[in-house]
Amino acid sequence: MNKDEQPSGNPWLKSLMIWGGIFLALLLVVSLFSERGPAQGTQIRYSDFRDSVAEGSVREVQIGEDRITGTLKNDQPFSTTPVPNDTGLTELLQENGVEYSGAAPEQQSLLLIILLNSLPFLLILGIAFFALRQVQKGGGAGGAMGFGKSKAKLLTEKQGRVTFADVAGIDEAREELEEIVEFLKDPSRFSKLGGQIPKGALLVGSPGTGKTLLARAIAGEAGVPFFTISGSDFVEMFVGVGASRVRDMFEQAKKNAPCILFIDEIDAVGRSRGHGLGNSNDEREQTLNQLLVEMDGFEANEGIIIIAATNRPDVLDPALLRPGRFDRQVVVPVPDIDGREKILSVHMKKVPLAPDVNSRTIARGTPGFSGADLANLVNEAALLAARRNKRLVAMQEFEDAKDKVMMGSERRSMVMTEDEKKMTAYHEAGHALVSINEPASDPIHKATIIPRGRALGMVMRLPERDSYSYHRDKMHANLAVAMGGRVAEEIIFGHDKVSSGASSDIQYATDLARNMVTKWGMSDKLGPLQYEQTQEGYLGAGQTARTFAGAETNKLIDAEIKKLVEDAHVRANDVLREQEDKLHLLAQAMLEYETLTGDEIDQLLDSGKIDRPDQPSGPARPVSTGSLGVPKAGKRFSGDGATPQGA
């Protein structure tokens, strides 16, 4: 921190001194005014004073312009206010032998006169001085006139030092940023060969993958000033404020060069220009223009390295991504199984673990989890262990926490009728049985009819390894699995008793079929063409617009989507009608046990029984195909059933 940024003193002490001075000034004014108070003695009426003189009870008096004071013969002082133009008072005093004299006029204090006359001017000067200090201080967040000041904060070790040792699972991204840190520590190593360090690095990745954590690690490793700011801190309702803050931010950075400037969520200010209407977007574009000029304009910014993070690189302005501004884009991906194991090891250091905990097993069962998801998983496991009054976090807590994160919290307090529970069991059994008979489908991790989240039941499938692309046969398998629950209801309960529980399944199947037809070119009639794309700007994020299709093509697209879903319905129907006995067996097992693992489902379909060591009747017990007891009928719950993958 340079001398311009050092605080001039303790703000609390300065405020205390100011209020103390104001208090002393008030005491001084009160004491000065108290000197002008009435003279000591009993205040009497003027008529009583004349009567006392006539009675001969007054010894002496002092006559002033506006007050008469004196002493009675019993030594009691008194005072009174004279009546104007009473010319007979002196004669009355002489007749009664009262000693009298004139009182000198009261002299006001010179200090009091000066203070009274200068108080208005001192008040005006104080207000002006306070306003001037606020203007000079500015300070973005605190100054009255600090709208145009930067809100960038200087990160210090007191705020929690993070190093590259705390970053795991994203080795390639870490290596690219370690190069920047090495340049700041030893610039000659790179410059002697004519190389120049990139002026900027853009961290790109999904939410929770560790972009901000990487930036904090750079701050902890670099040993140079590290300024951090969010993209939303530039945006204001006042025109020109964002551009002013950009200029002030780079001025601060130049004073502290070499330094690192980190802009989080840069897409808030760096979106492509020309898509907005109104002053708010004009203000954002002015801010972006100023940022472009400061990053690489006529004036060089030597020693300032800019690092930004975003999960929406597709919406950034092309001028922001060109070499010279953000020279390199560092992709921070979702970790693979090895990365997840390393991330779990980092977070598990803070938790007392039981001997049976295996981070590799947990990593294998959490495909697609980001670093933030894994941190949340470890935290949930620790909370579960504390709730169960355990001293160590065991593997069971991690499994339960994984189910909670993936499928939602159990809602065991929900009371379902016997019919609803039976329909849910057959619905989930249909999903599971179709999944087992589809070779391209992912293996079943767990099936349950305990309500979780917004679902009445769920079949969770997990891939055997990390997947980076999906094939046509797997998509058709997912469509068939999605329709398995609806088909099971049709077979067992009939067409008129089909419930609304398959609404989320139908939505999933329709979205998947639409993507296959319009984006991935998996329709033989329409060919390998893109018919839909996500459009930013007026429609907003996540909305699509059919920009390549006419009316006839749209009809063909809808027909192909319908055909894919209906073919999946037929595939699921063929499987479940052929294996209806297994459908009954699996549904009755789910009614009896409520939750089954994938291995238990395979065991049940192979041998007709489930092997559980904790069963009261022994290690293996056949599943009854008769009617089983269920909770008493209670409040009816209307809502969606399970999705094919627990989403």
Phi, psi for residue 105 in degrees, rounded to 5: -60, 145
Structure tokens belonging to residue 446: 């767990």
Residue 303 is assigned to a ligand binding site: no
Q: From the centroid of its chain, how far is CA 155?
A: 19
Marked catalytic residue, from 236, 428, 438, 490: 428
- From CA 586, how far away is CA 403, in angstroms rounded? 21
50 DSSP 8-state letter: H
Report yes or no: 150 and 229 within 8 Å, Cβ to Cβ.
Answer: yes
Residue 191 is assigned to a ligand binding site: no
Residue 368 is assigned to a ligand binding site: no
Q: Which residues contact 83 (CB under 8 A, 6 or more apart)?
A: 46
Active site residue 236: no
Residue 143 is assigned to a ligand binding site: no
Residue 210 is assigned to a ligand binding site: yes
| In the block, residue with structure tokens 């700041």 | 184
Residue 274 is assigned to a ligand binding site: no
Report yes or no: 311 and 331 within 8 Å, Cβ to Cβ.
Answer: no
- From CA 1, how far away is CA 237, in angstroms rounded? 31
Residue 207 is assigned to a ligand binding site: yes
Report yes or no: 633 and 418 within 8 Å, Cβ to Cβ.
Answer: yes
Residue 206 is assigned to a ligand binding site: yes
Structure tokens belonging to residue 441: 């489908």
The DSSP secondary structure of 371-427, one letter per residue, reads HHHHHHHHHHHHHHHHHTT-SSB-HHHHHHHHHHHHH--B-TT----HHHHHHHHHH
Q: What share of the chain is helix, strand, coil (3-state, %, to 5)?
A: 50, 10, 40
409, 414, 420, 423: CA torsion to nearest 10: 20
- From CA 33, how far away is CA 36, in angstroms rounded? 6
- From CA 431, how far away is CA 487, in angstroms rounded? 9
Residue 211 is assigned to a ligand binding site: yes
**Which residues are annotated binding-site positions?**
205-212, 427, 431, 505
Q: Which residues are catalytic?
A: 428
Q: Binding site for Zn(2+): what residues are annotated?
A: 427, 431, 505
Q: Which residues sit in the known binding site for ATP? A: 205-212
